[in-house]
A and B are shown apart, each in its own frame.
Chain A
Amino acid sequence: MMLASTLGPTPYLVLGAVLFTVGAVGLLVRRNPLVMFMCIELMLNATNLTFVTFARQLDDVGGQVIVFFVLVVAAAEVVIGLGIIVGILRRRPGATADDLRLMKG
């Protein structure tokens, strides 16, 4: 709280943007599907940080409530993603994202 009031919102926003970028780049460069999911989670959580920062800045509780929803959505995404990955790995053990290219063109 103290830090927030002295620093202003900018560092938090920048941190959010950096985390978001890290997540995006991670998704682009990693091939392990699980890590790719983690990157998506990172992006979502970076967004959460941004929401909270804006909520503080605007003094509006709405932005904080949003975080709840986003967390649930993120969890649901993880579950679905894991389900899909498990389904694939049962057929093809050890498959990376790059191995999945039956379809192209």
Chain B
Amino acid sequence: MGQYLPVVAMLVLAVVFAILSFAASKLLAPRRPSAAKSSPYECGIVPSQEPPERFPVRFYLVAMIFIVFDIEIIFMYPYAVIYRDLGAFGLVEVLTFAIAVFASFVYLIANGALDWGPAKRLGRRDPQMSATRTTTSTVRRVGLEGRPAGDEEVAA
């Protein structure tokens, strides 16, 4: 059973880490709540319904990207174990694989997926929008065409 010892150690460590981080945030974070603070600001009007929760999309996004890059290691690992035996062929294979991964990384960087902070919008949409979009086109769109046919779908 000796071979399972590292696994057990890992488990223990994981649990300890989880407990520690919870405890740390409880102990260290300042917490002075008040009614005014926790109510949403709506121009002085008392909100009639629950406001939508703040939804930190960025965390999800980063988590998602992390998962993808994380899982790539599953192919790197076996290669690392026997790379000598595979020789040039293996090298070419793994390089091809790495290029593919790198390409997606370039894509993410270029689209600003890893830019941290609230200021920038995802994607590099030109601020002045497209050349084809003029006042008249916008007005027409709002007036007639773009309006959904009585659905709850609202163009954002």
Contact = CB atoms under 8 A, between A and B. Distances in A.
B57 A86 contact: yes
B74 A79 contact: no
A75 B61 CA distance: 14
Given A72-B74, A79-B64, A90 B55 contact: yes
B61 A86 contact: yes
A83 B64 contact: yes
Contacts of A71: 71, 74
Interface residues of A, number: 16
Given A72-B71, A79-B65, 12 more contacts: A68-B74, A68-B75, A71-B71, A72-B74, A75-B68, A75-B70, A76-B68, A86-B57, A93-B52, A93-B53, A93-B55, A102-B153
- Interface bracket on B: 20 to 34
Interface of B: 52-53, 55, 57, 60-61, 63-65, 67-68, 70-72, 74-75, 78, 151-153, 156
Contact of B55 (A68, A72, A75, A89): A89
A75 B151 contact: no
Contacts of A91: 156
A102 B151 CA distance: 9
Nearest to A85: B60
